[in-house]
Structure 1
């Protein structure tokens, strides 16, 4: 009985006694139905260990679903689910920790929400907002990056830091907006439209550092999605949550897995670009050196050919050939002259032998009538006809005595 006396400074309780009393008080609370959002769901050895958060206030408790209970559950659960649970507080004396032992678990409210999102997804998809053909290419090096994110958030720091490290001269225009809660959808929509209207902004990043299903709902809001689809500036979605893809991921021109990934995808790395330029210069230099070497070898081979190695030899060969042809031409010309002279002499001899002069030289005379015709018949020259007689020494005049009897 003394051990259960009220604790005093002089007679304090042992820790075990206090823990047992706390466990007894908590055990008398019994079972209770609670509603909340699952923010952690881990299965180890068939048991489930997780956390349940209040839907409106900042209050979270840990819970355990023993394997025997987990096997009876017909539905599947995950982080972000809104549930009702039959729990019994359980204080672990040895570790001094409080947890909720779950005896039953069921979804509540989530089915309607998921159905509404699925209807919106199908509608937007039927309108072609998710088509790859409408997505824009990001600029190689944006002059100014628009950023829609929470004020002083890790997402903002990650994007700005990593982009600046990759390209120190990059500039930002940041539009701060709530990234969860009732105001988030309207403020994110306003941010996208404001930055899209800015002519200096070349690309817009919408960034949030992950979160549970409920917190990501603003990025599936129809107004946000349509604002991104209507933007003429390329949109990058960097919500940073792999399990649940908000609809903004589907309509954005590029989906980045995290804000850091968005910075790397939007801004080129100056070191890599400089290295690429050096490699290109090296390849060009090597190619030019190879080309020059090839052409030098080709010219050397051409110079070794006889026609270029001894060009005067061709002139000498052609000169000798020309001399031979000149001599041959002169010989042929002389022979032609001799042949033609002999032929001319023969022709002259024949003409001389056949000419009237040759006849006169043999002692004959040619008698011509006054008309100039040669007298061939005495009857043509009656008595008294004037005649002209040609002899070898000249011409004589004569008169016909008429034909002899």
Structure 2
């Protein structure tokens, strides 16, 4: 009766009646061919459970491939595949959910999302945004950590808890943003820009606790990637999904596998650092003690040497040696004077024997011109001094004036 009576405010239908009507209407649709993109593909007990997304609209439907159908599939399927499927819609009355049962499934090419992401990836890579030389080094101990994440999310709790456990004095500046849905990309990009504008922020973590391929799409959005690439502070991507790598992972200065991993890699462990300081102090103390001991041994060895143990003996030995060298020097000096005197006498005798004066003393004379024309020249040929030529005759006792009478 209720099913045939129109529902009114005073006579409403029970939920079950409405659900049954919906199920009956959907049942009449029968089998239809649909096209979409696989955004989730999970195999449990031989059955496949997944989601299919519309290629142009924001519409998604859950699907089921029973084991008998899955065994007949001739291709491998995964997230991002673009497919056509023969399905039959089913409305589950008890749970109030709509699913489609798949009877046939085939590929129709690379999924739109993956194709679009691949084009964007190639473009950004060509611009050099993924280059290793662009990546910035994280500070050893950041004074203030920026965190972009969902409000009251597990990712926020994991980052703060693990970072605080490692370094109790760590400080955070948090910017809450949607991490999935239409608003996510814009809010995440705005969060990165807002935190980067604060010069006190030393590093920025973008964190989300995983999710399926479709939920991670905002972290491959171009405005998010470019905001991360333009940031002054180093960016840490902590999306928490190993199977799918959003483009933010490629441009980030550090990719962490999970928010917990990001906290561990951004701040040092205070216990490890204190242990390292203790070890360094111990090594320094040991090395210094070894050095002092070595130097003390060297000083002891130096003090034991004769030069320091009995310095007077060295002075006495050197004094005796000095006296011997002084005596030897005096002897050599006297001998050198005698030798030089003998050599001087011999040189004087040779000089006297070769001197023109000695020749003159033996009765010879030297005749020179006395005239102005050849004054001082020696007369070597009689023809050079014709009659009446004034001459000077040099003998051992002095000089004589003379006049030539010509050749005899």
Q: TM-score category by the smaller chain?
A: 0.5 to 0.7
8 A contact 1:146–1:174 mirrored in 2:
yes
> 1:41 maps to which residue?
42
Q: How much has 1:139 moved relative to structure 2?
A: 1.0
Residue 53 to residue 157, structure 1, CA distance change in 2 (3 Å) = farther
Q: 2: distance between equivalents of 1:130 and 1:228? A: 11
2:67 to 59, 65, 68: 65
Q: 2: distance between equivalents of 1:250 and 1:325? A: 86
Residue 85 to residue 108, structure 1, CA distance change in 2 (3 Å) = farther
| Structure of greater Rg | 1
8 A contact 1:41–1:79 mirrored in 2:
no
> 1:86 maps to which residue?
87
Q: How much has 1:121 moved relative to structure 2?
A: 0.7
Q: Deviations over 1:247-295 (max 9, x none)?
A: 1111111111111111111111111111111111111111111111111
Q: How much has 1:65 moved relative to structure 2?
A: 2.9
8 A contact 1:144–1:171 mirrored in 2:
yes
8 A contact 2:39–2:53 mirrored in 1:
no
Gaps of 5+ in 1: 1-24, 92-98, 337-405
> 1:240 maps to which residue?
240
Residues 5-404 of structure 1: matches in 2 within 5 Å? 32=31, 39-42=40-43, 47-52=46-51, 63-66=65-68, 69-70=69-70, 72-79=72-79, 84=85, 86=87, 102-106=102-106, 111-318=111-318
Question: Secondary structure of the equivalent of 1:244?
Answer: coil
CA-based RMSD of the aligned residues comes to 3.8
Question: Secondary structure of the equivalent of 2:66?
Answer: strand
Q: How much has 1:42 moved relative to structure 2?
A: 3.0
Question: Secondary structure of the equivalent of 1:205?
Answer: strand
Q: 2: distance between equivalents of 1:108 and 1:167? A: 52
8 A contact 1:65–1:101 mirrored in 2:
no
Residue 170 to residue 107, structure 1, CA distance change in 2 (3 Å) = farther
Q: How much has 1:105 moved relative to structure 2?
A: 2.3
Q: 2: distance between equivalents of 1:109 and 1:178? A: 32
8 A contact 2:166–2:268 mirrored in 1:
yes
Return the TM-score normalized by structure 1.
0.63
> 1:13 maps to which residue?
none
| Number of equivalenced pairs | 296
8 A contact 1:81–1:213 mirrored in 2:
no
Question: Secondary structure of the equivalent of 2:147?
Answer: strand
Gaps of 5+ in 2: 1-22, 93-98, 336-408
Q: Deviations over 1:129-169 (max 9, x none)?
A: 11111111111111111111011111000100011111111
Return the TM-score normalized by structure 2.
0.63
Q: 2: distance between equivalents of 1:325 and 1:131? A: 80
